[in-house]
Structure 1
Amino acid sequence: MDTPRSRRRLTPPLLACLLLLPLLLDGLVVFQTYAVDVEVKDESNVSCLYAKWMLKLSIMYEGTDEYKTSTFMLPDDVSYVGTSCGNKTSGPVLSIEFGEGNSWAIHFTKTKDTYQGVTTFTYNTGDTVLFPDAKKKERVTVSTNFPANPVKLNTAFSCGTEDAVKSDNVTQTFLNVTLQAFLQDGRLSSQQTLCDNDVTMSTSSPVVGEARSAQLVSTAGTPDLNATGPSSPPSPSVPPEEKPGTGSYTVKSGEVTCLLANLGLQLNITQQIPLIINFNPNTTLASGHCGQTTAALQLSDGSKKVDFLFAVRNATSEKFYLKGVDIAIVGSKNATLSATNHSLNYWETTLGNSYLCRKEESIIVIPGYKVNIFDLKIQPFEVEEGQFSAAQECSLDDDTILIPIIVGAALAGLIVIIVTTYLIGRRKTYAGYQTL
C-alpha cells in the first residue's frame, strides 16, 4: 500500500477505493494538509505525476431569489477514481470526485519541449450542501488551461502566490502549487518554472537576490534536502528590527471564522548567506482552510510565505498540535528557497482551547531553516463566535515552576549560612580553652 510519507502515492489498483482523509497506513494516520497532495505511479511503480496545491472554487449560480456565489475549498472526503498515468496516446490524468455528482480533473499533454494541463470541472447545482437554494438542478461543465502557459519538460511548475483562472461562472484559485507531469525517471525535477505572478513578485522584491533553489521532501519524519539549483548566492539582507510586529490573522469557512492567530513571525535562514527576515503585519495576508481533523494557516508577505499545518492527535486524545511548517521565499526566475517538514510536534493543546506563548519560540524546520515566533496565541479548531477560547500557556510562560526553585535555593543558602556560622563559632570556643 502507500508508504508512510506526508504525500500520497496512487497506483492504479488502489484508485477506486482510496480516500484522501484520513487514511490508515500501517498504524499511522496520514492527514491532508493540501486540497491536492498526490504522487501518481504507473504499474511499474514509477511516478508519472506529482501534484500539490490548495484549490478554492468560486461558482456563481442562480438561486431562488437572486444570483449567489458558492465559495469553498475542496472538501476532505474525495476519491481519485479515474486517475492514471495514461498510455501511449494520452498523458497522465488526475481525477477527483466529491459531494453529490461533482468532479474535477486535469488532463496533461506534451509536445517535444513542453507539457500543458487542461482542467475540467463539473459541478452539480443539485448538491444541496454546496448550492442550498439553487433554482435549477443541473450539471454544468467548464474547462480551462492550467498552468496558463505551457511548462518546459523536465521542470516543476511552481506558484506560491494566488493564481486565479476564470471560466464562465467559475473561478478556480490555486495557491502554493508544485506540479510536474511526465517526470523523468520518476523523480521531481530540481529545476522550476515559475508562474507569472511569482516572476513579477520576484523582480520587484528586494528580499532575496539570486538565491539558490532548494526543495525539501519530508519522508517518514526525516526531512532530506533533495534538490539544489543555480549556484549564485543570495544577496545579503538588511538586518531587520530585533523583533517583528505582532499581527492578528483569521481564516474563514464561508462567512464563519474557523481559525484565529496572533503572532510575530521571523525567518532565520543560515543555509547559505544568513538571512533574517521579519513579516510585516501590515502587509501580510492570511489564508488557509479548516477541517474536522486538519487545518492550515498560510501567511504571505510579498515574496515570502509560511504555512502552519495543524492536526488532531487522534480520536481519543482530544488534543491538537502543530504538525508541519512550509517555508518558501521566491527570489528571481527559477530561484526559490524552500523547506518543508510535516513531522513536527509543537503547541499541543486540548481541543476547544487556544495555545498561548508570550516568550520567543524557535522551530527548526530543517537544518539552516528556522522560524521564530513571538507573542503567539492561536486556535485552529472549535472557534466559537469568532473569539479565542480559554488559553493553555506554554511551559516557557509558566512561572509557577520558578517559585519552588527560588524557595529551595533560598533555603539552601540559609542552611549554608547557619552551618558556616556554627562552625566558626565552635572554632572560636575551642580557642578559649588551655590544655592541662
Structure 2
Amino acid sequence: MTAQAAPWWKQVDDAAQLITSAVNAAAARAGRDGTYSPPRGSPPPRRRRRAASLRHLAEVIRAHRLAPGRAVDKDGVAGVLAGDLRYLTDPVTVVAVAKASHLIAAVPFGADDAQRLTVAVDYLNALLAAAHEADRRAPDRLPVPRPAAALVARDAGGRRTVVTANAAAPGPAAPGAPGGPSWWRRLRPGPAWMALAAIFATGVIVGVTGSRLADPRAGAAEIPAGTPDRTGPANVPDPADPVCLPSGAARPSGAMVMGPAGSPDTVSPNWWPNKPALDLAPTDTGFVASVPADSLAPSDLIGIRSGITIIKGHRYRFDFTVQSDRREEILLRIQDEDPPAYRESLMESVPVGPTPCRLSYTFTAAATSRASGEVTFQLGGKGAYRVTVEDAVLLDLSG
C-alpha cells in the first residue's frame, strides 16, 4: 500500500502546478501563434525550426537579456516547463521563460504579470521551506530506514558471530593519535610555525589591500583641473549634483573607437534598443529614448551601440552629454556582447537630470572584444521618463 503524501507536500505540489501551468500555457500559445526568427546577427537556420521550442526560448532569453545574472539554456527552460523545483524556485528564470514566450507570441507581458509570477515563486519557496521543517519535526511521516542486513559467521572455534553488513572495517589510526603516522607528529605546527604563518598572511592582506586602494578613482567620472570637489572622499558624482565637464573642454588625443553615426564603419551604424517597448530614436551623435513605466530592472530596457573592438589592457575614455526630464540614475556598461557573462570593462551609475551634463569616464579594458564589444545604457526599472544622450565618443588612449 502506497503511503499518502504529507499534507504540507501536497501544498507544495499544488503551488508548483499552478506556476508550471501558467508558464506552459504561455509557451503553448507562443508555439501556436509565434514564428521562429534567428538571434540578431546570426545566419538563418539551414532547416525550419519550430517556434517556442526549448532552443528558441533559450535564444530569446539570451538575445533580450531576460535573465540577468543567469545562464539559462534549453535545459533550464525544460526544467521550468517540467516543474523541476531546481528551476521552478528561481523567480528570475521562471519570469524569463514567461517573458520569452510572450515575446514570441507578440503578446504584452507587463510589470504586473512579472510581479504575479515572482510572488507565486516566492510563495512556493516559503511552502518548500515549511515542508522541509515539517518533515524534520514529524519523522514518523518519513520512510522508515531498513535495518542493516546481518551476516552470521563462525570463528575457528565454531562460535557464532553476528556482523552487520555496514560495519566499518578498522582503519589506520587518525593522524596524531597514538599509533598514528609519525609524519604528522613531525609536521604538527608548533608556535613558531603559527607565528610565521600569521606574518605571511598579514603581508598578503596588506599587499592585496594596497593594490585595490592604489587608484580609488579608477573608472569614476573625471573631474577637470580647477573644478571644486563636491563629490565627497570617493569622488563619485552625487546624483543630485553631478560634476560636469566645462563647456568646450578639449578632448585628449586618441584613436576613435566609436563616434558619431556611421563612424567608424566597423561599428554598428547607430544606437538601437534591445526591445521594441523602448522608444529609442537615434540621432547623428547619440539617441533620444522614451522609457515606458512597465519595466522592473535596469537591464529590461537598454540602448546599445554594438560592434565595437576593445583590447584588453588598453586605456580608454568615454565622453558623452546626458539629459533627462527628471533626476534619475541610469547604468552605463561597456562590455562584451557574448552571454552569459557579458564581461564588463566599465560599469558606472550615471546621474542624469534636466540640465545637460557632459561626463567623462576612463577605464582599462578587462577583456578583448573584437567587433563584439558594446556600449550600453541600461534604462529600465525607473518608471516612465525621457533621456537624451548626445556626442558619445569612445577613444583609445593607448596609441
Superposition TM-score tier, normalisation by shorter sequence: under 0.3
TM-score (norm 2): 0.26
Query: RCO higher in 1 or 2 (8 Å CA, sep ≥ 6)?
Result: 2
Larger of the two Rg values belongs to structure: 2
